[in-house]
């Protein structure tokens, strides 16, 4: 019985395919008409997209012109903190490198870097490290090599 059931639907499908082929043949001219009708509709949607793009471009242009029209702020010079600009008394060891006059912290750091670069005391492999010579060893607490960040900490001990 199961075998007979399987064969019967197969015959129906074959029979159904033949009339369906006739129906599609009859629909072909109508399908062409529909396709022809859809083409102008597609053009309308592209026209809508281009107008949408134009409106977006106009909106962007308005925003950019608004930014350009805003007045620019005048650059004001920043005043340095008075604590940094106050002359400091230096230890004898630091005076040997920087000079004997009391000078601000910023100038001490600047003159130290001038001394380091003049004597080529930066480590060639790691430029953040400073190799101390005899004068700098007194300031660096007898260390042979110090990082540039540690240097400022050690120099502050020699200023009052």
- On whether the CB atoms of residues 127 and 142 are closer than 8 A, the answer is no
- On whether the CB atoms of residues 105 and 87 are closer than 8 A, the answer is no
> What is the CATH topology of the domain spanning 82-153?
MDM2 (1.10.245)
- Residue 34 and residue 114: Cα distance in Å, rounded? 85
Q: Residue ranges per domain, the chain?
A: 82-153
- Residue-wise pLDDT for 1-57, tens only, equals 555 555 555 555 555 555 555 555 455 555 555 555 555 555 555 555 556 666 666
- Residue-wise pLDDT for 109-159, tens only, equals 999 999 999 999 999 999 999 999 999 999 999 999 999 999 989 999 999
The pTM score is 0.50
Closest CA to 119 of 101, 102, 134: 134
Closest CA to 121 of 100, 140, 104: 140
pLDDT of residue 91 exceeding 90: yes
Rounded mean pLDDT, 80-90: 87
- Residue 83 and residue 104: Cα distance in Å, rounded? 9
């Amino acid at each position: 019985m199961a075998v007979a059931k399987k064969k019967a639907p197969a015959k129906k499908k074959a029979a159904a395919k033949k009339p369906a082929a006739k129906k599609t043949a009859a629909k072909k001219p109508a399908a062409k008409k529909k396709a022809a009708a859809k083409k102008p509709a597609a053009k309308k949607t592209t026209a809508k997209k281009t107008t949408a793009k134009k409106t977006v471009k106009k909106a962007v242009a308005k925003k950019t012109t608004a930014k350009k029209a805003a007045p620019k702020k005048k650059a004001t010079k920043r005043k340095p903190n008075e604590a940094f600009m106050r002359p400091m008394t230096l230890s004898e060891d630091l005076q040997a490198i920087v000079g004997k006059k009391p000078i601000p912290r910023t100038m001490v750091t600047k003159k130290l870097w001038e001394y380091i670069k003049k004597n080529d005391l930066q480590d060639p492999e790691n430029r953040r490290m400073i190799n101390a010579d005899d004068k700098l060893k007194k300031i660096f607490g007898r260390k042979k090599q110090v990082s540039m960040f540690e240097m400022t900490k050690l120099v502050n001990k020699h200023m009052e």
